[in-house]
């Protein structure tokens, strides 16, 4: 178990090391998956606790500027996303390898 956690940290350590809490420490997706937030410089990390059940996740009460880029830390490719009313919809790659959590890099970070 510790080896798996170490491998996870190799991929997702940027969302953990040298970060601090964002103005909101946590939230949920519309289907009640837990999210934790950290920040570093102009980057927000949204850490989804568990594997998404669908190809899209919707984070409650989070809107982004049009020039924002979102990447999942295990592949660093830009993801497709859109603001939907007061929520944020992110399209999830279909080839996610199972992990206990998935870290999304959001840059620039939203103000609130």
20 has a pLDDT exceeding 80: yes
> What does the alpha-carbon distance between residue 52 and residue 17 come to, in Å, rounded to a whole number?
24
Taking domain 2-107, whether its CATH number is 2.60.40.1180 is answered by: yes
pLDDT tens per residue across span 62-101: 999 999 999 999 888 999 999 998 999 999 998 888 889 9
pLDDT tens per residue across span 22-60: 999 999 999 999 999 999 999 999 999 999 989 999 999
Among the listed residues 55, 48, 56, 54, the one whose alpha carbon sits nearest the alpha carbon of residue 74:
48
Q: What is the pLDDT of residue 94?
A: 86
Q: Which residues pair with 69 in a beta bridge?
A: 107
Residue 7 makes CB contacts below 8 A (sequence gap 6+) with none
Q: What percent of the chain has pLDDT over 70?
A: 99
């Amino acid at each position: 178990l510790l080896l798996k956690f170490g491998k996870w940290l190799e991929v997702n350590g940027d969302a953990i090391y040298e970060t601090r809490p964002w103005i909101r420490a946590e939230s949920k997706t519309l289907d009640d998956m837990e999210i934790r937030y950290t920040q570093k410089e102009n980057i927000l990390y949204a850490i989804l606790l568990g594997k998404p059940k669908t190809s899209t996740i919707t984070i409650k009460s989070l809107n982004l500027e049009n020039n924002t880029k979102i990447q999942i830390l295990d592949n660093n490719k830009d993801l497709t996303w859109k603001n939907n009313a007061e929520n944020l919809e992110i399209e999830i790659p279909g080839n996610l390898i199972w992990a206990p959590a998935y870290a999304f890099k959001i840059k620039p970070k939203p103000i609130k």
